[in-house]
Each structure stands twice: as C-alpha cells, then as structure tokens.
Amino acid sequence: MLTLENIRFTYPNAGTPIFDGLSLQAERGSFVSIIGASGSGKTTLFRLLNGLEQPEAGRILIDGAPVTARKHFASYMPQQDLLFPWLTVEKNVMLPMTVQKQPAERSADKARAMLAQVGLTGWEDHYPRELSGGMRQRVSFARTLCAGGDVLLLDEPFSALDSITRISLQEWLLDQWRHLEKTILFITHDVEEAIFLSQKVLVLTGHPVTGLREFPVPMPAERSREMLLEPQVARLKEDLIALLRSEAKAGEQYNLNESGSR
C-alpha cells in the first residue's frame, strides 16, 4: 500500500504552495489514474514520488514505512521515451541496473527477459532510431521495470503517439499490469484512457491542491473497449469531464487573482 499523508509542497520562487494537505492511497497491485486540469500539479506529484523533489511537510509511506528507508521503491517512466541514442535497445534497458552497479551479466539476462516480456525479442542490438514510436515506449517501459520499483509511475506515456498506436498500447499495458503484480500510478489528461485502464481515477482539485476526488471505475479487471459504452461508465466519463472543466475555470480565475496580487 502506497500512502501520501498531508503533503505540502511549494516550488522555489512561487508564493503559494502547489499542494497543501494532500493525501492519497493506492492499494498494492492496483492501477490508479490521476487526472487534473493542466497546471494542477500532476507531474509535481510524480516528482515527489520519484525523489526529484522533497515535500516540505507530510510523509510518503509504503506499507506503513517512510520511503526514505527504501531507495528505489518507485520507478519513473517519462512522457517522452528519453532513450539514449548511443546505446543499443538492450543497453538502454540495462541502464538503471548499470547505474545501480548490478553485475553486467545478470543485468543483460534480465534486460533480455524484459524485452521478451514487452514483445521486442530480436531488437536487442538495434539502436533506438531504428524503432517506431510505439516500440520505443515499450523499450522505455521495459527499462522502467528494470529500475526495480514496486510502484510504477507512468507520466502520460502514450500522449505523443498516434491514436491507433495509443489504443493498442493501452490494451497492451492493461495486459502487462495483470501479469506484473506492480502498483501502477498513471498520469493522463485523457479521461477515456484513465477510465479504460484503471480501477480508480483520482482527480486533483483546488488551488493549491488540498484533496483528491476519488472515482471507482465500474468495470471488472478483465475488460474490453466496448464496456466504455455501458451507461454507468459513460456517466462516469461525463462527470469527470464536467469536474475537470469547472476545475480548469477555477484555475484560470485563481491565476488571474495571483497575477493581480503580485
């Protein structure tokens, strides 16, 4: 279980905090999506979880223990694949293990196993430029798995892909999640993507963000794209869109007041 308790965070040079008293919980092995209007702090939330930023107040716990004790509890997958062009696909996947100074032989074996897992056997010795956008994201996912965290932080990983590739990668990711026994936190601005993938959707609300609104997704783990058309799922989608729109409007008003008071 991943728990955030009363997190407070302010960017340097920013007058007001972006989070104040933010709490959230994600059960072990669950798939949770986080949506919010742009500028609502989705990416900042991940930066706190992957250690790039430290909260001013509050605690991040994993199974009740503070995360500072466990170094690599969360593995981060960025929006762009950020593969190193000078490394082969296999060496790219090995990168987190190389950084953590794990034995090269074992790292290579694990990297090959992960590439098989994401369906890229045979591409080990190719360079990233030879791969399509969808394949590169799968390499990036394999690399994330090799970073060794029980929690995967996926930051809009499909936003740069064309819609057909995106749909097939969503189904692919769902399939991966069922086999992996990892907790996945998934940032997206696409409401339908959030619903299709996750067991619950969290919406960041307020300026600063003080709380999360939680929406369970009324679909079984084994799901298909057609289920998105069922009435209760369609209603959830409309509710989420309405909430995001009102939040975006409130955000505009807030920013206007902020710039006025400065």
Positions in the binding site for other proteins (CB under 8 A): 50-52, 71-72, 75-76, 78, 80, 82, 84-87, 95-96, 98-100, 127-129, 147
Of the pair 50, 188, the CB lying nearest other proteins is at 50
Minimum distance, C-beta of residue 46 to other proteins, in the bound complex (Å): 10
Contact status, residue 208 vs residue 17, Cβ threshold 8 Å = yes
How many Cα atoms are found within 13 Å in the side-chain-facing hemisphere of 56?
12
Of the pair 11, 84, the CB lying nearest other proteins is at 84
Token pair in block for residue 161: 């892909």
Of the pair 51, 211, the CB lying nearest other proteins is at 51
In the chain, what is the straight-line distance between the N-terminal and C-terminal CA atoms, in Å?
41
Minimum distance, C-beta of residue 99 to other proteins, in the bound complex (Å): 4
Q: Is 201 helix (H, G, I), strand (E, B) or coil?
A: strand
Minimum distance, C-beta of residue 184 to other proteins, in the bound complex (Å): 16
Of the pair 147, 240, the CB lying nearest other proteins is at 147
Of the pair 21, 51, the CB lying nearest other proteins is at 51
Minimum distance, C-beta of residue 164 to other proteins, in the bound complex (Å): 25
Alpha-helix residue ranges (DSSP H) falling in the chain: 42-49, 89-99, 104-117, 133-146, 163-180, 191-197, 231-261
Contact status, residue 124 vs residue 113, Cβ threshold 8 Å = no
Contact status, residue 22 vs residue 40, Cβ threshold 8 Å = no
Token pair in block for residue 83: 């593969």
Minimum distance, C-beta of residue 87 to other proteins, in the bound complex (Å): 8
